Structure 1
Amino acid sequence: MKAVAFRTLALAAAAAGALATPALADLAPGTKAPDFKAPAYLAGKPFTFDLAEARKKGPVVLYFFPSAYTKGCNLEAHLFSQAADDFKAQGATLIGVTAGKVDQLAVFSADTATCGGKFAVAADPGASIAKQYDAPLKVAGMKAPADLSARTSYVIAPDGKVVFAYDNLSADDHVNQTMAALKSWRAKNPKR
């Protein structure tokens, strides 16, 4: 009887996950990206991330993820960490932002299975930054389990305009999509 109950619960959880969809209205290319400051960690060390300051150095690749230490988010962070040097070579600042498990971000930022100290992650309690970016997590037909962000990635130019937005709950293509958009932007803006 316990096996049947467990199987039913597992199927219900899988169905709920399948229904999770990102926000339908990302910020469109050409839109001004909202500047923000947020508590962040790089290799376990705390600092305040300031988007306006980061943009002064070049383009910013901003990716929202639902929660630290979940299967998809761990994979996405690991993939971004593997590509971090390539983003840096393009002159970009890479930042991950989440509302989930913000108390674990210091460790998450240094963990070799996730960020590996290669890029910063910022806390977004209540998903207030995600909401400014039209990127809160939505669950079809249900109230979202908490204020979490969708898996949405942006490339933001130094002038603050969105160059590219990519919404996909699957974690495995955000790096490729943002890198292609960044390289395309860089080809048109070699000196910025």
Structure 2
Amino acid sequence: MSLEKGEKVSHFELKDQNGNDFDSKEIIGKKPVVIYFYPKDFTPGCTKEACNFRDSYEDFKEAGAEVIGISNDSEKSHSKFAKKHNLPFILLSDSNGKVRKKFGIKKSLLGLVPGRETFVIDGEGKVIFKFNSLDASKHMKKALNAVKKID
């Protein structure tokens, strides 16, 4: 089952890159949120994607949106990844894949690689845009365009 446009995001809790508890209720349903799922810290495509979001982070903030990256990597890996690339946004560790499953993210490349998918969620907690592509370069632009269309 996949989370589709118009559906509300169900509650989840994960640890962030600093080992802190993250509760989706604190952000989702309160302001627009971009959640992007990516395969792995430090891989070329994922680094490029994270840096694209970093370089446009102020544009997302100006539009009133928060950016959250989620992968199966550990909090420790996320912490190193965020420090190395000066990532100003939240990275969440979904080590058991529970949240990935809630969103219906499928594996790609013959089921070997965790999928790369981006969701834009409005201030009411509903999905208004979703994009699935292994091409890391397109996610940030499409997400920012969707955020800018939120009233």
TM-score over 0.5 (shorter chain): yes
- Structure 2 gap segments, 5+ residues each: none
Distance 1:57 1:64 in 2: 21
Task: Please name the residue that 1:179 is paired with.
Answer: 144
> Where in structure 2 are the equivalents of 1:81-96 lying within 5 Å?
81-96=54-69
Q: Which of 83, 86, 99 is matched with 2:72 structurally? A: 99
CA contact (8 A) 2:8 2:126 kept: yes
CA contact (8 A) 2:122 2:128 kept: yes
> Where in structure 2 are the equivalents of 1:45-56 lying within 5 Å?
45-55=18-28
Cα offset, 1:57, TM superposition: 4.1
Cα offset, 1:181, TM superposition: 0.6
Q: Which of 85, 91, 98 is matched with 1:121 structurally? A: 91
Distance 2:106 2:21 in 1: 22
Aligned in 2, Cα 1:30/1:159: closer, same or farther, shift over 3 Å?
Answer: same
Higher relative contact order (CA 8 A, sep 6+): 2
* Off by >6 Å, runs of 4+ in structure 1: none
Deviations 1:169-190 (A, max 9, x none): 11001000000111111xxx2x
- Structure 1 gap segments, 5+ residues each: 1-24
Distance 1:81 1:155 in 2: 16
Aligned in 2, Cα 1:74/1:108: closer, same or farther, shift over 3 Å?
Answer: same
Distance 1:57 1:95 in 2: 15
Distance 1:133 1:59 in 2: 17
Aligned in 2, Cα 1:136/1:102: closer, same or farther, shift over 3 Å?
Answer: farther
Are positions 1:36 and 2:12 aligned together?
yes
CA contact (8 A) 2:30 2:124 kept: no
Q: Which structure features the higher share of helix residues? A: 1
What secondary structure is seen at the aligned counterpart in 2 of 1:126? coil
Distance 1:173 1:99 in 2: 21
TM-score by structure 1 length?
Answer: 0.73
Distance 2:53 2:43 in 1: 15
TM-score by structure 2 length?
Answer: 0.91
Q: Which of 17, 35, 42 is matched with 1:69 structurally? A: 42
Deviations 1:103-130 (A, max 9, x none): 4111112222xxx131110000122111
Deviations 1:6-42 (A, max 9, x none): xxxxxxxxxxxxxxxxxxx74221011122111002x
RMSD: 1.7
What secondary structure is seen at the aligned counterpart in 2 of 1:104? helix
How many residues matched?
151
Distance 2:38 2:142 in 1: 15
Aligned in 2, Cα 1:129/1:149: closer, same or farther, shift over 3 Å?
Answer: farther
Cα offset, 1:156, TM superposition: 0.8
CA contact (8 A) 1:154 1:164 kept: yes
